[in-house]
């Protein structure tokens, strides 16, 4: 039989949102557990040169997140990265989180499980990741001022990224394997920019370079032509996968698989909060993840105070 353990707060995910929530919950003396099924730090764990997190001129993702982890642990939050969650029941009171080894009963659950960005399905992707292959224009676009940039993808996210990157690019290629799906306004804006070349029905076949990305090889499916483009960086926007599989029978999800919750991070279930990139919102950055973690934790404390008053 699995051991049953009560917690004030269980936080699912130890990225920036989850660890910030843990820091605040710990500091409010709430009995707090963070469950992580991958790498502590989430998406930012391996990123280099973060230059837009206030308070740091430039910081490595691993160093930034290790500091937040230390802060959370110093305030008493416990982080368990080895016990995987098998099942959650969020509509019960208390809420139940069953892991491989234990059953946690929690008054509050903060879901901070983030998302994964779909990677370019090429063997060289790993070699050039962060060295010319990027997934976040708001994060890394600035490094390509005056350079030749490519964007991969054809949905709204890709076309919006391309429009944004034209502020830096000397020349920009938008490369997509079929036709554009982005809204008319964004497409028109992109097409009107003379720096931009749109390459549709085009597959990216290879990435090349010595230490950094220098070229992409593309295949024009209509003409059958293979071309090599000299570029400095490519921003990949071919979709994201929010980590919400575990919650799909408990919470209504958006069409894109995210958790609908407003700025207060409250979901449709009282005592269940969604924080960070897993929450449906427009801007997904470290600062907004930290802001969500803060909000969720502070409102969790209010929720708990009320819950204890009525008991
Ligand atoms: C390469 C890269 C560079 C970036 N650079 C910047 C930058 O310079 N500046 C900036 O502001 N933003 C940057 N971002 C965006 C930023 O990293 C994210 O917005 C932020 O990290 C989101 O944090 P999060 O905690 O919401 O989610 P995540 O970082 O996705 O963390 C979620 C965590 O939850 C865990 N998890 C998922 N499912 C479960 C489960 N079932 N059980 C337990 N744990 C689970 C995951 O393993 C993960 O650790 C970058 C993103 C990438 C990919």
CATH number of the domain bearing residue 159: 3.50.50.60
Asked about 139 being catalytic, the answer comes back as yes
Tell whether 112 and 124 lie within a shared domain.
no
Ligand 1 centre and the CA of 293: distance in Å? 12
Tens digits of per-residue pLDDT, 185-202?
Answer: 999 999 999 999 999 999
Tell whether 154 and 174 lie within a shared domain.
yes
Tell whether 106 and 177 lie within a shared domain.
no
Integer Rg of the chain from CA:
22
| Whole-angstrom distance, CA of residue 28 vs CA of residue 305 | 11
Tell whether 90 and 178 lie within a shared domain.
no
Ligand 1 centre and the CA of 66: distance in Å? 14
Return the ligand 1 atom nearest residue 35 CA: 43
Ligand 1 centre and the CA of 90: distance in Å? 23
Tell whether 213 and 139 lie within a shared domain.
yes
41, 66, 102, 113: residue to mutate for ligand 1 pocket, most atoms within 8 A of CB: 113
Cβ-based neighbour number of residue 98 at 10 Å: 15
pLDDT at 46: 82
Side by side, the strands of the sheet bearing 215-220 are: 202-208, 215-220, 226-230
pLDDT at 74: 98
Tell whether 277 and 203 lie within a shared domain.
no
| Whole-angstrom distance, CA of residue 255 vs CA of residue 162 | 23
Tell whether 88 and 124 lie within a shared domain.
no
pLDDT at 287: 97
pLDDT at 207: 97
Distance (Å) of CA 39 to CA 29, 159, 183: 26, 31, 36
Tell whether 61 and 94 lie within a shared domain.
yes
46-61 b/e (C-beta count within 10 Å ≥ 16 → b): ebeebeebeeeeebbb
256, two tokens: 């894109």
The pairing of strands 102-111 and 95-99 is: antiparallel
pLDDT at 47: 84
Given the residues 31, 136, 203, 220, select the one marked as catalytic: 136
Of 68, 80, 56, 66, the residue nearest 20 (C-alpha): 68
In this structure, the residue with its CA closest to atom 30 of ligand 1 is 114
Tell whether 70 and 150 lie within a shared domain.
no
Given the residues 139, 232, 265, 277, select the one marked as catalytic: 139
pLDDT at 94: 97
The parent domain of residue 165 ranges over 119-236
What are the residue ranges of helices labelled H in 154-241?
156-165, 184-191
Tens digits of per-residue pLDDT, 3-60?
Answer: 999 999 999 999 999 999 999 999 999 999 999 999 899 999 988 789 999 999 999 9
| Whole-angstrom distance, CA of residue 242 vs CA of residue 276 | 11
The 8-class DSSP code of residue 266 comes to B
User: Taking the model in full, what pTM does it have?
Assistant: 0.91
Residues of the chain with pLDDT under 50: none
Name the domain boundary from 236, 258, 284: 236
Tell whether 219 and 247 lie within a shared domain.
no
Tally the C-alpha atoms within 13 A of residue 16's C-alpha that lie toward its C-beta: 23
Name the domain boundary from 210, 236, 262: 236
pLDDT at 49: 82
Query: Which protein residues are within 6 Å of ligand 1, measured from CB?
Result: 12-18, 35-39, 42-44, 47, 50, 52, 85, 112-115, 117, 135-136, 139, 243, 246, 276-277, 284-287, 289
Ligand 1 centre and the CA of 145: distance in Å? 25
Domain count, the chain: 2
Name the domain boundary from 236, 263, 280: 236
Tell whether 112 and 126 lie within a shared domain.
no
| Whole-angstrom distance, CA of residue 159 vs CA of residue 204 | 17
Tell whether 123 and 230 lie within a shared domain.
yes
Ligand 1 centre and the CA of 307: distance in Å? 31
């Amino acid at each position: 039989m699995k051991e049953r353990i009560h917690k004030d707060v269980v936080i699912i995910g130890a990225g920036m949102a989850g660890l910030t929530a843990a820091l605040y919950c710990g500091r409010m003396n709430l009995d707090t557990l963070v469950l992580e099924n991958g790498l502590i730090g989430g998406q930012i764990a391996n990123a280099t040169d973060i230059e837009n997190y206030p308070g740091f001129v430039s910081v490595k993702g691993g160093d930034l997140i290790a500091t937040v982890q230390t802060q959370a642990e110093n305030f008493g939050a416990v982080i368990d990265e080895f016990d995987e969650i098998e099942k959650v029941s969020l509509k019960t009171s208390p809420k139940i989180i069953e892991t491989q080894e234990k059953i946690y009963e929690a008054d509050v659950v903060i879901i901070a499980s983030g998302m994964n960005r779909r990677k370019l399905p090429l063997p060289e992707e790993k070699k050039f990741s962060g060295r010319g292959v990027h997934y976040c224009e708001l994060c890394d676009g600035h490094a390509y001022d005056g350079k030749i940039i490519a964007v991969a993808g054809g949905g709204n996210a890709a076309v919006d990224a391309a429009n944004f990157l034209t502020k830096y690019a000397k020349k920009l290629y938008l490369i997509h394997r079929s036709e554009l799906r982005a809204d008319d306004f964004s497409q028109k804006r992109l097409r009107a920019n003379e720096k931009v070349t749109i390459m549709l029905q085009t597959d990216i076949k290879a990435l090349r370079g010595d230490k950094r990305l220098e070229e992409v090889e593309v295949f024009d499916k209509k003409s059958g032509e293979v071309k090599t483009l000299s570029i400095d960086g490519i921003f990949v926007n071919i979709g994201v996968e929010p980590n919400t599989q575990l919650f799909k029978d408990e919470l209504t999800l958006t069409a894109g698989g995210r958790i609908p919750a407003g700025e207060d991070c409250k979901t449709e279930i009282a005592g269940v909060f969604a924080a960070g990139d897993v929450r449906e919102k427009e801007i997904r950055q470290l600062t907004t993840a930290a802001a969500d973690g803060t909000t969720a934790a502070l409102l969790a404390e209010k929720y708990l105070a009320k819950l204890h008053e009525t008991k």
